[in-house]
Amino acid sequence: MIYPMYFFSEDFTAIEPLLETVPFRICHFKEGDYLWTPGDSIEELHYIKSGVVQLAMNHPSGRERIISFHGRSTLFPVFYEGPVQLEDSLEGHVLTETHTVAIKKDDFYRILHHHPSMSMAVISWYTKFVNLLLYETGHQGYNNGFNKLCNIIYLLICRDKSELDITQERLGQILGMSRVNINRYLRRLKEEGIIQTQRMRLEVLNKDRLKAYCSEATQYMSSLSH
């Protein structure tokens, strides 16, 4: 069973040595930098050695929607051939100091062509990413705002952690909800003793009660993981 994930990491650890068989350059990014900005032609793939990068989409209205987060030992963006229209609205925002190995798309294509293990790693990554998008499209839209917030908190902590470094603003960007609504739903969870918050950190005090407020689909997927 593949679970929806908003944070991708350790996806390409096993095939990291293959990346050293083609030309590459070492890149260092500070918090607040961009791997690319909307409209840039994406000519390189970045293998993240350390740090966290956020994938977001900018709507013509000026609003930003966060799609996912990418950390250590994953490629970002993952390989695809030719330009895509979405390059005009996607951005890779560096959230923490990040070190990457940058590889040109043509060089990475040669690895894909000659090494089935790399091809399978890319397919596996895209399976997870498509699963996330399908979850967002076909599932989240049917839940009320409170359910959506509980779902995202539960999925982001990956069911094996209890703390999450995230702001109300970022939760709102992920869910496409106003900060006022996010604050109201978080206050309800705090009053019921399910979470506690401190500045940019959220701690889950009672995972079972949090899960009880999640959608049926999220609860079902959780039961399959045990």
pTM above 0.85, yes or no: no
CATH of the domain at 85: 2.60.120.10
Peptide bond into 17 cis (omega under 30): no
pLDDT (0 to 100) of residue 62: 67
Q: Rounded distance, CA 35 to CA 13, Å?
A: 21
Strands (E), 105-210: 163-165, 195-198, 201-204
Considering 109, 138, 167, which residue would you say is the last residue of a domain? 138
Question: Which H helix or E strand runs over 35?
Answer: strand 34-36
Judgement on whether residues 120 and 38 belong to the same structural domain of the protein: yes
The reply to whether 117 and 162 lie within a common domain is no
Domain end among 138, 160, 176? 138
Whether 197 is in a domain gets the answer yes
DSSP class of residue 61 equals: T
Q: Does residue 2 fall inside a structural domain?
A: no
Q: Are residues 216 and 130 in the same domain?
A: no
Same domain, 89 and 132: yes
**What total number of domains does the chain contain?**
2
Q: Which H helix or E strand runs over 172?
A: helix 168-175
List the domain range (segments joined by +) for residue 162. 144-224
Same domain, 218 and 150: yes
* Model pLDDT, residue 193: 96
Here the tokens at position 34 are 């961009």
Res 2: pLDDT: 47
* pLDDT tens-digit series, residues 65-105: 778 888 889 988 886 666 555 556 788 888 888 999 999 98
- Residue 99 sits in the same domain as residue 22: yes
**Rounded (10°) CA dihedral 200, 129, 60, 146:** -50
Do 36 and 113 lie in one domain? The reply is yes
Give me the pLDDT at residue 120, please: 92
How far, in Å, CA of 75 to CA of 9, rounded?
Answer: 9
Please report the pLDDT score of residue 98 as a whole number.
Answer: 92
Pair 44, 22 in one domain:
yes
Domain end call among 118, 138, 158: 138
In the chain, which stretches have pLDDT less than 50? 1-3, 224-226
Are 128 and 162 in the same domain?
Answer: no
pLDDT value, residue 223: 60
